[in-house]
Amino acid sequence: MKIGTRSKSTSMGKGQFSGKVALVTGGGSGIGRSASLLFARDGARVAVADINDSGSEETVRMVEQSGGKAFVVHADVSKAADVEAMVRATVKRFGRLDFAFNNAGIGGKGVTTVEHTEEDFDRTIAINVKGVWLGMKYEIPQMLEQGGGAIVNTSSIRGVGAFPRLAAYVASKHAVLGLTKVAALEYGKLGIRVNAVCPGVTVTPANERFWAQSPREKEDRIKIQPVGRFGQPDEIAAAAVWLCSDKASYVNGHGMIVDGGFVAK
């Protein structure tokens, strides 16, 4: 297949997650929605967590339409009580928790380091960093009780390199990789693998809204992509799902870059 083109999506080997339960934060949109669909396609039951309930409801509807099982959990990942309740609700509904994709995140303001307000900085860190830590804080004890599990956190190519006018976001995504590595070292021997995905620019609703206002910016960005296009949510989700699978049984503490080669430049 020519680089830069994509084959039609294929079945990922039905049932590899049969009997398993996955929790996806930010499941109401973009990468989280695609991951919910892919976990379900492989047989997992899925808890779709988000602050955007109508987005989550749509994801659940799509999972059910494709023959899977899912339910909506309203949770703000920056709030400990919500995250604790999210894990409890998942276990109450589906009996266990095998995989967690701590993926909810925001972009933060596109301003210089000096221009960032304290409020924006704190909000970005609260959702992108504290949200991932809280996820693991409540997911890991449940997984330990069951004898193991796999966690994937969403970082970014901005977690391995900087970009001007994005201080809070860049800091938050570097921190996600730090949290991922620490947890991987702490819980590897206890049967829990912890990894991260680092997406490049991906075609999600927020980006599409932005590009609708700045089509020139979109064209310029595409030109600098080594494969001549942006990523699709299911291409990022596929990496997260693979990291959860037994095929990745020796992968731990890794930040998998899925960016069409962008950071290789």
Q: In the bound complex, what is the minimum distance in angstroms from residue 95's beta carbon to ligand NAD? A: 23
Give the span between the Cα atoms of 81 and 34, in whole angstroms: 26
Binding range to ligand NAD, per CB under 6 A, among 50-58, 62-70, 85-93, 208-216: 50-58
Residue 91 token pair: 């276990």
Binds ligand NAD by CB under 6 A, chosen from 48, 77, 97, 175: 77
Give the span between the Cα atoms of 84 and 1, in whole angstroms: 45
Q: In the bound complex, what is the minimum distance in angstroms from residue 98's beta carbon to ligand NAD? A: 21
Strand partners, 50: 74
Closest listed residue to residue 95, CA positions, set 122, 115, 75, 69: 69
Asked whether position 232 contacts ligand NAD by CB under 6 A, the answer is no
Asked whether position 36 contacts ligand NAD by CB under 6 A, the answer is no
Binding range to ligand NAD, per CB under 6 A, among 6-14, 104-112, 214-222, 247-255: 104-112
Given a contact cutoff of 8 angstroms between Cβ atoms, the answer to whether 222 and 228 are in contact is: yes
**Cβ nearer to ligand NAD, comparing 43 with 241:** 241
Q: At residue 170, what is the residue type?
A: V
- Cα 104 to Cα 15, 28, 148, 174, 250: the distances in Å are 26, 9, 23, 15, 26
Binds ligand NAD by CB under 6 A, chosen from 55, 149, 255, 260: 55
Q: In the bound complex, what is the minimum distance in angstroms from residue 135's beta carbon to ligand NAD? A: 10
Residue 138 among the catalytic residues: no
Given a contact cutoff of 8 angstroms between Cβ atoms, the answer to whether 248 and 191 are in contact is: no
Catalytic residue positions, numbered: 169
Query: Residues in the site for ligand NAD, rule: CB under 6 A?
Result: 25-26, 28-32, 50-52, 55, 75-78, 103-106, 127, 154, 156, 199, 201-202, 204-207
